[in-house]
Amino acid sequence: MKARQSIYLVCLLAFINGCATSGSVNDKDTDKPISNEFQKQSLLGILYTQTSTEFVANNIQTFAAASSYLDQAISDQDWTAALEQTDNYNEKPPAIILDVDETVLDNSAFQARTVIKGLSYPNGWIDWGNEASAPAVAGVTNFLQEAQLKGVKVFYVTNRVAELEEATRKNLKDLELPLDEDRDVLMMKGESGWASDKTSRRALIAKDYRIIMIVGDQLSDFLSRPETALAPEERKMLAFKYRNMWGSKWFMITNPMYGGWEASIYDFKYPDDENTATKLRLENLQP
């Protein structure tokens, strides 16, 4: 009986732990262990996004490159940026798909709080989202306003939970970013049964539009999640596999704070304890 009770206790603790650490609220999927010291390991990545001119210049450069391809992408009816777009797309009106977090909206202030408070994502994430005060990533506003003027439909495909839809809408509108209301252009995770994998949402857009560009900060903003779930060295090969897409059809924003690159270090299973996570981080250094 005692053994059985112990098993129940272990199961209960595992369940509670699962509740506490699962349920990715956006595309971070970072169920990190929590401690001030562990959170501080993110410090330089966050400072890079918040204090470096290099980061700002890189983002301006990325969106300038996207702008420079707009006319060609619009006029060339064979041009498509979506792997989900397979046939009969030439006559369809052009659209652009962007991820939201760290692609359009800069959440580095939330990340900074995690270091200061020693509380990792998802703690405080919904509160931050509801503040609707994230600034725009440098360069994105001009790019999207230009695209809209040229008749390109702008879609946001995000793994923010549906609960944050209204706040996200407000945040985007306050920043004067295009947000059409004639159809659902802000596609949240959990809305209409959409899961983390963005493939089905891209396919849905591809039914009515020719997707001419995709912008994101994660490989899974462009590819299916299973395709990107690889160990770091194998995963890097995907950058070369799709070399013809980058810089004209696909545009990647640098995110040194979190993401699939980190999950890859843990074989896509975030460790339950920070010592294991730190050990895996160290083991992945290449001296």
Give the footprint of Mg ion on this chain (CB under 5 A): 99, 101-102, 217
Smallest gap from Cβ 99 to Mg ion, in A, equals 4
Closer to Mg ion by Cβ: residue 153 or 160: 160
For 183, 185, 220, the CA distances from 179, given in Å and listed in that order, are 10, 7, 23
Under 8 Å between Cβ of 205 and 199: no
Smallest gap from Cβ 236 to Mg ion, in A, equals 19
Question: Which residue is at the shortest CB distance from Mg ion?
Answer: 101
Question: Residues 17, 218, 140, CA angle at the centre, nearest 5°?
Answer: 125
Closer to Mg ion by Cβ: residue 101 or 106: 101
Closer to Mg ion by Cβ: residue 137 or 211: 137
CB neighbour class for 53 (10 Å; exposed up to 12, middle 13-18, buried from 19): exposed
Closer to Mg ion by Cβ: residue 81 or 274: 81
Instruction: In whole angstroms, give the CA distance from residue 128 to residue 113.
Output: 10
Smallest gap from Cβ 199 to Mg ion, in A, equals 16
Instruction: In whole angstroms, give the CA distance from residue 85 to residue 113.
Output: 40
Smallest gap from Cβ 46 to Mg ion, in A, equals 15
Smallest gap from Cβ 27 to Mg ion, in A, equals 5
Closer to Mg ion by Cβ: residue 73 or 105: 105
Under 8 Å between Cβ of 159 and 125: no
